[in-house]
Amino acid sequence: MFKLRAMTALVLVAAILAILFLAPPSLAFAFFALVAVVGAWEWGGLVGGGAFWRRGFPLLVMAACGVLYLLPEIRIRLWLGAALFWLLLVPVWFRYRWPLKGNFQALVIGLLLLLPTWAALVRIYDLGPVRLLAVMGLVWVADIAAYLTGRAFGRHKLAPAISPGKTWEGAAGAVLAVQVYGFALAAAFKLDIAYVPYAGLLLLLTAASIAGDLFESLIKRQAGVKDSSALLPGHGGVLDRIDSLTSTLPLTALALSFVYP
């Protein structure tokens, strides 16, 4: 299993780097849309599984990506909606654990997960592939640090009813690692930052990263499955790999929209 996971990870990393740095922008945007469409197909399997959810919902997401490409001025509204969802609604959702079973609520939440993420991928990529890779790296740093710190020091469960393996110690490790990573990036790129607000933004993005992971874990637990699909050998599905990105990328794009209007 480890070899399979490692091989899949290497292929994914190579594909991402090729898309970001070798492919033309049009192909990169198409790849981002493909990720959203496959994510929509997996979401349909988690919340419904019927004809609409397996075929209609991915087509709806594909069409919406096209509209967002043609009308970039509405993207910021999506990011604002995503920010309200992740910062205000999701914490309450963790408390009540509302079910999503092929209803209108599942449709709205699926769109909120996928469309702001696609729009954020496009926007941050427009600012430079290195910036997009740096933001994705933040999520990876948080995930790896939480895992390693949790295994070494984890004693207190973060959300035992949703994801028993996650601990408060792991979350603290993620916060510390992202702070180091974020300020190292600021130094490397010679960014002119206000230290306290920047540290606060890094903390918010780390919390959002954890929330994205937990939210997908909750939906999978309600669906009674371990992975969103089996498309990526050893890694589950696309949603399993982008769960934290669905929360962090829209918030990052929203923050960047004030710096690069």
pLDDT in tens, 159-215: 999 999 999 999 999 999 999 999 999 999 888 888 999 999 999 999 999 999 999
Output the six-digit token pair for 242. Answer: 């982008």
Task: Report the pLDDT value the prediction gives residue 1, as an integer from 0 to 100.
Answer: 57
Q: How far is CA 88 from CA 17, 63, 82, 85, in A?
A: 34, 28, 10, 6
Task: Report the pLDDT value the prediction gives residue 2, as an integer from 0 to 100.
Answer: 60
Q: pTM for this one?
A: 0.94
Domain ranges of the chain: 2-259
| Residues in the chain, pLDDT under 50 | none
* Closest by CA position to 114, among listed 260, 256, 23, 238: 238
Contact 152, 141 (CB under 8 A): no
